[in-house]
Amino acid sequence: MQKNTHTQKGFVILFAVIIATIIALIGAGIFSVAFKETVLSSTASESQIALFAADTGMECALYYEYQNSTASTINCSGSSSLPVTAGQVYDYRFIMSGTPSCGFVSVDHASDRTTNDINGVPVTVMGTRIISRGYNVCINDQPDAGSQFLIERRLEAWFPNVVAPPTGGGGGGGGGTGQGSGPSIN
């Protein structure tokens, strides 16, 4: 009588399949992480382009505001921008030269904000509000709404309208008592 000593014939194949499956799952996990990182870095890059367009629009608007320009057009990023609306609110569109990005800037000279004065009393202050929107994908000077990769970045600035400084009294120089309407330091 002969004993059967080969009762484990399929074990090596089963072991090889299990090891191959584990390696394939690890590879798929690494691929998934790498793909997500690629998408994230691409989105960050596109977001940076949109932010650059918004920043360019903000800088152009601030430049023309501080120059007290009453020009009907502004030159932003190498392209002349015509106002879309006029009056107290001026809206400008511009194209970023050499890139597919564009921007939209709104300047409102009659924007008010309520804040508290030093005594906690609410005070309404008139100012200028600038809103600049930048887009990474544009067709001419309009954002490409049909693009699945369209990203908008918005910047907003507000500053009080220029008020003439108080005249008379206070300050130093020229003798006098040093008492006036200006702030005092105790």
Instruction: Evaluate whether residue 167 is within a structural domain.
Output: no
Asked whether residue 169 is assigned to any structural domain, the reply reads: no
Q: How many CB atoms are located within 10 Å of the residue 30 CB?
A: 10
Reading the block at residue 47, the tokens are 């977001």
Residue 10: its pLDDT value, please? 72
Residue 185 domain-assigned? no
Q: Which of 72-86, 122-136, 152-166 has the lowest mean pLDDT?
A: 72-86
Residue of 9 and 114 predicted with greater confidence: 114
Residue 144 and residue 1: Cα distance in Å, rounded? 85
Task: List residues bridging with 152 in a β-sheet.
Answer: 135
Please state the pTM of the whole predicted model.
Answer: 0.63
**Domain total of the chain:** 1
pLDDT in tens, 75-118: 776 666 656 555 577 788 888 877 888 888 888 887 788 888 88
C-alpha distances in Å from residue 158, one per residue of 113, 125, 131:
9, 11, 9
**Would residue 166 count as lying in a domain?**
no
What sign does the CA torsion over 143, 72, 64, 157 have? negative
Q: Is residue 26 part of a domain?
A: no
Q: How far apart are CA 142 and CA 107, in angstroms?
A: 18
The answer to whether residue 77 is domain-embedded is yes
Residue 84 near residue 91 (C-beta atoms within 8 A): yes
- Res 86: pLDDT: 53
**Enclosing H/E stretch for 21:** helix 11-66
Average pLDDT over residues 30-51: 89
Bigger pLDDT: 155 or 186? 155
143 lies in some domain:
yes
Any domain includes 23:
no
Residues of the domain holding 75: 40-160
Amino acid occupying residue 163: V
- For residues 4 and 7, what is the distance between their CA atoms, to the nearest angstrom? 7
